[in-house]
Chains A and B, each alone.
Chain A
Amino acid sequence: MTRGSKAWLLFGLAMAWLFLLLWPLQGIRPDGTLAFAETVDIWWKIALACLICFAAFRLSRAGVFDFAVRPLARLAGGVGRVYAAWPRWVFLVPLAALALAYPFFTERYAQDVAVNVLVYVCLGLGLNVVVGLCGLLDLGYIAFYGVGAYTYALLSVHYGVSFWLCLPVCAAFAAVAGCVIGYPTLRMRGDYLAIVTLGFGEIVRIVLNNWMSLTNGPNGILGIAPPNLTVPVLSDGGLAFETIAMRKLFWMYYIILALAVFTVVAVRRLNFSRIGRAWEAIREDETAAELMGVDTFRFKLLAYAMGAVFGGLAGAFFAARMRFVSPESFTFIESAMVLAMVVLGGLGSIPGVILGALALVALPEVFRQFELYRMLVFGGVMAVMMLVRPAGLWPAARLGKRSDDEG
């Protein structure tokens, strides 16, 4: 038997197996009668889609698409060379200009999506510190987002504290929460850590849900003040100060853009510092890092707290933007989404995480009509990504960047 026919045989077997899996789900009616029509109806669509993918895969292996792939690869290589050769500001300046001008040529809806993307950029970069740099799998990251959001919500509703004053407070509270959760959990490694962080994430959500007197439980907190801006204005009498409530969406866009830029700069500086080096060493080999004189527990706790800070900032913004918080916004699926962005984009890579956030927030918006199948598409995209780009969309590559190459 040739390799080709063996592959087709496997394909046939897989489809038959799929049918056997599908049929009990679809074919047994509540009254006990059996039916095949519905199952066949779904099955042949999936089988056809798989057949097309499989055939395309085999054809590309056989080199049929080379006429298109070759020039594309050459183009990608050329782009990569240009990117490496030109100074970084050539790309950053137009990008910054585009980001600043964005609200002037877009609709409300597009701005809304952009705000969402930027919130997830902050969250993704924060989680990237924990997962990408320090190598600690955290499945409860959204808890810090929740802590930040509720901190601002409560301070604003009960004490009328301004958003700007609350930002550092939220960051500090999230960091404290990070330490409180991290202190007992960070003694575990690998799978155990993942399970425990998952548990703590749920604990935070359930506390928010049940502490009626403080958080108003599942009803959430209403009436959170938007950020204010006090600007000097020239009136008849001379200089006066006027307070603008930054209720408009474009204000929100600029605030979160500033937060995202702050996060990018901060994470980048952390990454390229002594602390970042220690985190990477811990990720690579914890015992070896310890033997090199890295106080692993302290640095892991620091990574956890730093990640929480960015989550807390994003949370404060979230509360200010929605003007309403409820525990529903901080479920496990949110943690999973943020983690998916980090992994999809490229662990430890800042542009990668930004791309990942863009992909996972913007693409479902673009494909709104398929929204029912969003999770299915996620699964599919993840599987394809693992095959095609196992290190992420934009893998972290920093060969010898910080080192003195001249020796």
Chain B
Amino acid sequence: MAATVLELRGVSAHYGRIQSLREVSLRVDEGEIVCIIGANGAGKTTTLMTVCGIVRATAGDILYHGASIRDTSPDRLPGLGLCQVPEGRRIFPRLTVSENLEMGAFFRRDGDGIKKDMGLVFRLFPVLYERRAQKGGTLSGGEQQMLAIARALMGRPRMLLLDEPSLGLSPLISQHIFRIIKDINEQQGTTILLVEQNANIALSLADRGYVLETGRVVMEDRADALRANPEIRKAYLGG
């Protein structure tokens, strides 16, 4: 069995007095794609934000490669190989594509390695190479999503947290993005935790899945089993 990369043990989080996560426990193993599905406001994004420390866990523990990162400052996580593609892409609109990518490698000091990875990322996303001198904000939604993923890859992540990569994109472009995510996982062995509202596409990609409802994990299973589960089909897969 592969080693566990990320583990949440009974993690709770609050926004003010409102509890948004209730003792969430989940596990991601080396090389896996794990997805979290759930409706709006179920706590999917909060889960990722808690992992990276933007939202502080009020109970429970978060382990990354066996060490607690619950109290680690968010800006130290990329250095540990834990990079995030945040919800809504959040690229830097007035920096150029190249500069956005350089920001992804901000914590790294190996100039040659960064240059090499830039080439790698441009091979993965040729459209970004064409647009490298353009400001991030002038890209289309799909291109911005590619940029956000590419930016995270510039940190040479051992584990990638992806938040709603299909948000606001046409089905065709989503498919393209998910294809690339799968490639990253297979070719570079990057462990991926994926949060996605589009349960269908997420489950077809992932190895395992968790279902979140009002801040609670209500189900976890292999992705194909979840896809076959009549309850899930009814609630999330449209019949």
* A277 contacts B by Cβ under 8 Å: yes
CA gap between A130 and B99 in the complex, in Å = 20
CA gap between A405 and B84 in the complex, in Å = 26
CA gap between A284 and B133 in the complex, in Å = 17
**Are B76 and A287 in contact, CB atoms less than 8 angstroms apart?**
no
Tell me the smallest distance from the CB of A186 to a CB of chain B, in Å: 15
**Are B106 and A284 in contact, CB atoms less than 8 angstroms apart?**
no
**Docked complex: B36-76 residues within 8 A CB-CB of A:** 52, 54, 73-76
Query: Per-residue CB proximity of B66-105 to A under 8 Å, as 1/0?
Result: 0000000111111100011010001111111011001110
Instruction: Give every chain A residue within 8 A of B168 (Cβ-Cβ).
Output: none
Query: B95 is contacted by which of A284, A294, A296 (Cβ under 8 Å)?
Result: A284
Query: A403 is contacted by which of B78, B90, B102, B107 (Cβ under 8 Å)?
Result: B102
**Are B78 and A288 in contact, CB atoms less than 8 angstroms apart?**
no
Total number of B residues with any Cβ neighbor in A under 8 Å: 37
Instruction: Give every chain B residue within 8 A of A399 (Cβ-Cβ).
Output: 96, 133-135
CA gap between A285 and B99 in the complex, in Å = 14
**Are A404 and B79 in contact, CB atoms less than 8 angstroms apart?**
no
Query: B96 is contacted by which of A288, A290, A400 (Cβ under 8 Å)?
Result: A400
- Nearest opposing residue in chain B for A278, CB measure: B106
Instruction: Give every chain B residue within 8 A of A30 (Cβ-Cβ).
Output: none
**Are A280 and B95 in contact, CB atoms less than 8 angstroms apart?**
yes
CA gap between A399 and B54 in the complex, in Å = 31
Total number of A residues with any Cβ neighbor in B under 8 Å: 24
* A184 contacts B by Cβ under 8 Å: no
**Are B92 and A288 in contact, CB atoms less than 8 angstroms apart?**
yes
Instruction: Give every chain B residue within 8 A of A405 (Cβ-Cβ).
Output: 98, 132-133
CA gap between A293 and B132 in the complex, in Å = 22
**Are A290 and B75 in contact, CB atoms less than 8 angstroms apart?**
yes
Tell me the smallest distance from the CB of A174 to a CB of chain B, in Å: 27
**Are B118 and A294 in contact, CB atoms less than 8 angstroms apart?**
no
Instruction: Give every chain A residue within 8 A of B52 (Cβ-Cβ).
Output: 291
**Docked complex: B215-229 residues within 8 A CB-CB of A:** none
**Are A402 and B132 in contact, CB atoms less than 8 angstroms apart?**
no
Given contacts A292-B103, A295-B73, contact A285 B133 (CB under 8 A): no
CA gap between A287 and B133 in the complex, in Å = 24
Tell me the smallest distance from the CB of B119 to a CB of chain A, in Å: 6
CA gap between A274 and B109 in the complex, in Å = 10
* B236 contacts A by Cβ under 8 Å: no
Query: B98 is contacted by which of A278, A293, A404 (Cβ under 8 Å)?
Result: A404
- Nearest opposing residue in chain A for B89, CB measure: A288
Instruction: Give every chain B residue within 8 A of A71 (Cβ-Cβ).
Output: none
Instruction: Give every chain B residue within 8 A of A288 (Cβ-Cβ).
Output: 86, 90-92
Instruction: Give every chain A residue within 8 A of B178 (Cβ-Cβ).
Output: none
**Are A281 and B76 in contact, CB atoms less than 8 angstroms apart?**
no
**Are A281 and B96 in contact, CB atoms less than 8 angstroms apart?**
no
**Are B98 and A403 in contact, CB atoms less than 8 angstroms apart?**
yes
Instruction: Give every chain B residue within 8 A of A290 (Cβ-Cβ).
Output: 54, 74-75
* B155 contacts A by Cβ under 8 Å: yes
Query: Per-residue CB proximity of A250-288 to B under 8 Å, as 1/0?
Result: 000000000000000000000000100110110011011
* A289 contacts B by Cβ under 8 Å: yes
**Are B106 and A281 in contact, CB atoms less than 8 angstroms apart?**
yes
* A232 contacts B by Cβ under 8 Å: no
**Are A292 and B78 in contact, CB atoms less than 8 angstroms apart?**
yes
- Nearest opposing residue in chain B for A400, CB measure: B133
Further pairs besides A280-B94, A292-B155, A399-B133: 7, Cβ < 8 Å: A281-B95, A284-B92, A293-B78, A293-B107, A399-B96, A399-B135, A402-B99
Which residues of chain A have a CB within 8 Å of any CB of chain B?
Answer: 274, 277-278, 280-281, 284-285, 287-296, 399-400, 402-405, 407
Which residues of chain B have a CB within 8 Å of any CB of chain A?
Answer: 52, 54, 73-79, 83-84, 86, 90-96, 98-99, 102-104, 106-107, 115, 118-119, 122, 129, 132-135, 151, 155
